[in-house]
Each structure stands twice: as structure tokens, then as C-alpha cells.
Structure 1
Amino acid sequence: MSNNMSDHTLPSDSPAAAPSRRRTVLRRLPVVGGAAAGAVLLLAGPAFAHVTIQPGQAAKGDYATVDFKVPNERDDASTVKLEVDLPADHPLASAMPQPVPGWDVKVTKSKLDKPIESHGEKLTEAVTRITWTGGKIEPGQFQQFPVSIGALPEDADQLVFKALQTYDNKEVVRWIEPAKEGAPEPENPAPVLKLVDAGAAEQGGSSGGTDTAGAKDAESGADAGKSSTTAAADSTDNTARVLGVIGIVVGVIGVGFGLFAGRRRTA
């Protein structure tokens, strides 16, 4: 009896066992590829997840055009509202949003506890909140909201802009947590604009976000072209990231097929 059973048992390296091994490898490949893709996308996710201000720095005492970049984090809801609070500790004399197709914008001004001076005039009120409504950011998409701001303070190293992102399912994500030096990044960090000396901003090139034309160009809305260039650069950056993720996943699957082919040759 034992001899008959051993006669029907195929050695693992026999030609007859090769189809079984191939089926096992093929069943495992989607699992390996899927796990690798999930891990890569999980690691890449945070780069797209936060509401941010771009460029991330500008020159002290100057005017700048910045974009509030808002990605949709949800798979089953669309972003329908964005509210941005301007820093109350450093009021800005000018804050002018650029029109965004499909979106309505509301600029809210408030009286200042302490007047600020701009172009030789004392201002008793300043823009404290900008609200965009009426549009929609679908799942898997992002939108940029350009604003010309200034003059930027000379006695600060950064400006914090708190933002509220509202979805059409009534969920509100509050991007209001300040980042602390040496501490892990908060779950919902507030957008931060770093302020640097004018020389450092020029050396940084386009990343400085400085409107070198000055206050009168900002007041006349001459920053629209810069915003379009920034949007194109951000879009290219996002595309490169996505293609990088796809390349890694394809590479993992290719390694799996390579192992499979190697086993066939040894069989």
C-alpha cells in the first residue's frame, strides 16, 4: 500500500508538477502587486492630502501672489466650499482674490484693533476672511485659489492662514493646527507662508512667490499670469508623482513575473 501511494506522489521538481507551481505563482502575483501598490499609494498620499499655500515662501515687506491648493481627500464626496482666515496678528493692507471659473468669492473685512499704515495712509480695517463657494472639487481632483496679498510684514518669519474645507456631505475639515518646531506634523496643519529676506527670496527663484513689480502692480491685478504659471508647475509636479507611483507598481509586478519565468526554466 505504501509503495502505491509513493508512486502517485509527484516530486516538486518533476515536469508534471510545473503546472501546479505556475498556477500558485500566478495566484500570488496579483496579491503581491496589489500590496505593493497599496503601500506605495499610502506613502504617497500625504503629499496630496493637505490644504497648502504655494509657493511656500515670499519676501518680507513685499507683495506676493499665492495659491491655496485644495485637494479632495474623499472618494464619495466633493469639496464645495473653502474659507481662509487671514492672520489677525499681522493684518494685510491688501488681499485680492483672482476669479476662479465656476466659483463665487466673498471678501470679508473687519475693523482693526490697531490701525496699520499702507502707502502713507492709515487703515482701520483689513480683509480677515475669503470664502469661495458655488464650485465643486470632485474626488481625485484639486483646485487652486489665487490671492494677491501684501504688504507682507517685515517683523515676522511666517504667516499662518487657517482654512476650512467643506464637503457636500456636510463634513468640515479644519486645517487650523499650527506646526511646532521639533514636533511631528499635526493631523490637520494650517497653511503656512514662510517670510524671508528679499535677497534670499531672489536666490530661491520662482519658489519665493514675490511680486517684484511692487504694490501698484498688485493693486492693478497684474499677477494673473504668475498664478497660471504656478498652476501649470503644480499640475506637472502632481503628474510626475502619479507616474512615479505607477512605475514602481509595474516594476514590482515585473519582478514577480521574472521569478515565475526563472522557476519555469529550472523546471
Structure 2
Amino acid sequence: MSTHRFPTLAARGGAVAAALGLTLAAGAGVASAHVTANVYGDAPEKGGYGAITLRVPNEEEQAGTTKIEVTVPAEYKISSARTKPVPGWDATVEKNGSDVVTKVTWTASDGNEIPAGLDSYQEFDLQLGALPADADTIMLPTKQTYSDGTVSNWNQPQSGDAEPEHPAPVVELAAASGGHSHGAGGSHGAHGSGESAEGGHGGSGDNAEAAANATDDTARWLGGAGLLVGALGVGVGAGATLRARKAGKADS
């Protein structure tokens, strides 16, 4: 049975302010951000299956993004790749002769590219597995092609604290818990290439339940705070009325 702890008013207020600040900062940075690999929920486990969301911002003023090619290093020996359908985009999965995934490509149909300019981005959901059991991270070099033929290669590994000019998307892996069969991000399904996975971001049911519980806790806290403020208001009003009555009796 899970236990939910409700923070104090000051702590909750600080958390809300921090969350708003992070949201604004993230929104302001989309235009100049590079291609990144994101995980919604717990980090995928080593040896398990992971749901990854590739976020691709457009970075050309006069051209839109028409193709995204993700290289999956063969050394990871990943045998399954599934993509969530993106309206207006076709996805393909390539494997080598050893049935190892080597590339995942999304291609936009006419009129469905990520629009030109610095204000738009698109997310592409991908599920990979089984992930390597002996690596702390996986790197997914990504090639971004624009409608005017311009190509951006996001393939540089990060060394030290300094970020390279074109960093490759990286996913951190969690230690194996010993109880995963599909890892974070849901079941792996069939191993055929080019398959699509339904559902938002490919998240697990546990992650969705945790998010729902968090939302419910917040709603209860806000409702309780509203009732408390209302009760205080009633108490103050009642006290003022009693004092006025006593004052009137004393004057008479």
C-alpha cells in the first residue's frame, strides 16, 4: 500500500514556483535547443526495454525538417525497435544480418515537415530493447535533414563538463532491478521492424498510475486549502458579529 505525504503550505508554494520557473525556462530554450532523447518516468533498466522520446526542434529560419535518422550502434545488440505513429510521418526500422537494429528513420510527407523557423519542434516516440546490460548510457547519433538539403548531424559524444557543438542524444540507464521482463516503458511486443506502439509516450502503467496519484494528491491539497481559508473567513466574520452585538448591548 502506498503512502502519500502532504507537504506544508510553504513547501508546496516553493515547489509550485520552482516548477513554473522550470517550465518557463524550458519553453524559452526550445528554439535554440539541440536534438535530445528524453524519458518520461523512471529511467530504463539495463537489460530491459525502454521508451524514449526524441525531441527535435527546427533550427533553420528558411527551411523545415523533413527527415530524422537515428543510428542505433550495433554494439548495443538491440533486436527490437517500435515507433509510435506520428501523423504525416512514415517510420522505418533497419536491421543488419544478425537481426540487430541499426537505424530508425522518420520521413515527413509533403506539407507535414517541422515548420521553418525557430519556434517549432516535434517529438518522436521510440521503444528499444533489450538494452545493453553492461552500459550506463546509450548514445543515439541523429541526422536531421531540412527541406533545402541542409543536414545537421547530432553525433558528438560529451567529454567532461563542456557540451560539444552538436551533442548526440544520450539516454541514462538504471541498474537492473532483477524483476524486469520488459523494463521501463511497457511491454516490448513483437520484434519485427517497422512496428508501431500505441499510447502516449510509450510509458508504463505504473508511471501513469503514479502520475494520476500525484494529480489526485494535488487536487486534494488544493481543495483542503480552500476549505481551510473558507473556515477561517467564517470564523473571522462570526467573531466580528459577536463583538458588534456585545458592543451594542453595552451602549444600551
The one-letter code matched in structure 2 to 1:186 is: P
2:76 match: secondary structure: coil
Does the CA-based 8 Å contact 1:148-1:218 persist in structure 2? Answer: no
Residue 184 of structure 1 pairs with residue 168 of structure 2: no
- Structure 2 residue ranges without an equivalent (≥5): 1-23, 205-252
Does the CA-based 8 Å contact 1:62-1:211 persist in structure 2? Answer: no
1:99 match: secondary structure: coil
Q: Percent identity between the aligned chains?
A: 39
**CA drift at 1:192:** 0.5
Residue 74 of structure 1 pairs with residue 51 of structure 2: no
Matches within 5 A, 1:12-23: none
Matches within 5 A, 1:230-241: none
**CA drift at 1:133:** 1.1
Give per-residue Cα distances to partners, 1:159-181, cap 9 Å, x unaligned: 1100000111111000000011x
More helix by share: 1
The one-letter code matched in structure 2 to 1:193 is: V
The one-letter code matched in structure 2 to 1:106 is: T
The one-letter code matched in structure 2 to 1:194 is: E
Q: Which moved more, 1:155-164 or 1:70-79?
A: 70-79
Equivalences, count: 170
Instruction: Give the Cα–Cα distance (whole angstroms) in 2 for the partners of residues 47 and 72 of structure 1.
Output: 7
1:58 match: secondary structure: coil
Matches within 5 A, 1:162-241: 162-180=141-159, 182-199=160-177, 210-213=184-187, 215-216=188-189, 224-227=198-201
**CA drift at 1:47:** 7.7
Aligned match of 2:246 = none
Does the CA-based 8 Å contact 1:70-1:144 persist in structure 2? Answer: yes
With normalisation by structure 1, the TM-score equals: 0.55
Residues 74/229 of structure 1: CA separation in 2 closer, same or farther (3 Å cut):
farther
1:70 match: secondary structure: strand
Instruction: Give the Cα–Cα distance (whole angstroms) in 2 for the partners of residues 216 and 166 of structure 1.
Output: 30
Residue 55 of structure 1 pairs with residue 39 of structure 2: yes
The one-letter code matched in structure 1 to 2:137 is: Q
Residues 171/85 of structure 1: CA separation in 2 closer, same or farther (3 Å cut):
same
The one-letter code matched in structure 2 to 1:81 is: K
Instruction: Give the Cα–Cα distance (whole angstroms) in 2 for the partners of residues 67 and 155 of structure 1.
Output: 22
Residues 171/91 of structure 1: CA separation in 2 closer, same or farther (3 Å cut):
same
Residue 136 of structure 1 pairs with residue 122 of structure 2: no
Residues 223/107 of structure 1: CA separation in 2 closer, same or farther (3 Å cut):
closer
Instruction: Give the Cα–Cα distance (whole angstroms) in 2 for the partners of residues 156 and 228 of structure 1.
Output: 22
Residues 216/45 of structure 1: CA separation in 2 closer, same or farther (3 Å cut):
closer
The one-letter code matched in structure 2 to 1:67 is: T
Does the CA-based 8 Å contact 2:141-2:155 persist in structure 1? Answer: yes
2:125 match: secondary structure: strand
Residues 80/212 of structure 1: CA separation in 2 closer, same or farther (3 Å cut):
closer
- Structure 1 residue ranges without an equivalent (≥5): 1-39, 112-123, 203-208, 231-267
The one-letter code matched in structure 1 to 2:156 is: E
Instruction: Give the Cα–Cα distance (whole angstroms) in 2 for the partners of residues 194 and 172 of structure 1.
Output: 26
Give the alignment partner of residue 93 of structure 1, picking from 63, 79, 84.
79
More strand by share: 1
Instruction: Give the Cα–Cα distance (whole angstroms) in 2 for the partners of residues 176 and 222 of structure 1.
Output: 25
Give the alignment partner of residue 128 of structure 2, picking from 131, 142, 149.
149
**CA drift at 1:229:** 7.0
Aligned match of 2:245 = none
Aligned match of 1:107 = 93
Instruction: Give the Cα–Cα distance (whole angstroms) in 2 for the partners of residues 211 and 217 of structure 1.
Output: 15
Does the CA-based 8 Å contact 2:125-2:202 persist in structure 1? Answer: no
Instruction: Give the Cα–Cα distance (whole angstroms) in 2 for the partners of residues 50 and 172 of structure 1.
Output: 13
